[in-house]
């Protein structure tokens, strides 16, 4: 795997986990969310945001999660550079929206 491809894949994964971690912490600290601390948390936090009237957060987390799974598990990922740029943008938008 070329170094550039590895960097794109890593960036996609880190962007997802940054947004996931931030949104989880925000939901706990500011919205009364009680995490279950299981693998289901990735799905549960998205549903929590949807049920809290923040469907845009849910949609962006879902997209990030899909890109992360592709980057981590698929041998071939088409549009890898585009997905990396989109991941960084989506993660930034999630974090900024929760800060306002």
Average pLDDT over residues 9-31: 98
pLDDT score recorded for residue 100: 82
Could you report the per-residue pLDDT of 41-95, keeping only the tens digit for each?
999 999 999 999 999 999 999 999 999 999 999 999 999 999 999 999 999 999 9
Would you kindly state where each structural domain of the chain is located, as residue ranges?
Answer: 3-99
- Which 3 state secondary structure label does DSSP give 65? helix
pLDDT of 27 above 90: yes
CA–CA distances in Å: residue 51 to residues 16, 24, 36, 48, 93: 21, 14, 17, 5, 19
CA 77 to chain centre: 18
- Which 3 state secondary structure label does DSSP give 36? coil
CA 25 to chain centre: 13
pTM score > 0.85 for this model?
Answer: yes
CA–CA distances in Å: residue 84 to residues 8, 22, 70: 6, 19, 11
């Amino acid at each position: 795997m070329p170094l550039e491809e590895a960097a794109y894949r890593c960036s996609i994964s880190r962007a997802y986990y940054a947004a996931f971690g931030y949104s989880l912490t925000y939901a706990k600290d500011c919205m009364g969310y009680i995490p279950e601390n299981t693998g289901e948390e990735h799905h549960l936090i998205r549903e929590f945001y949807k049920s809290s009237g923040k469907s845009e957060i849910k949609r962006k987390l879902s997209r990030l999660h899909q890109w992360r799974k592709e980057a981590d598990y698929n041998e071939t990922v088409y549009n890898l550079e585009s997905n990396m740029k989109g991941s960084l943008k989506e993660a930034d938008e999630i974090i900024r929206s929760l800060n306002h």
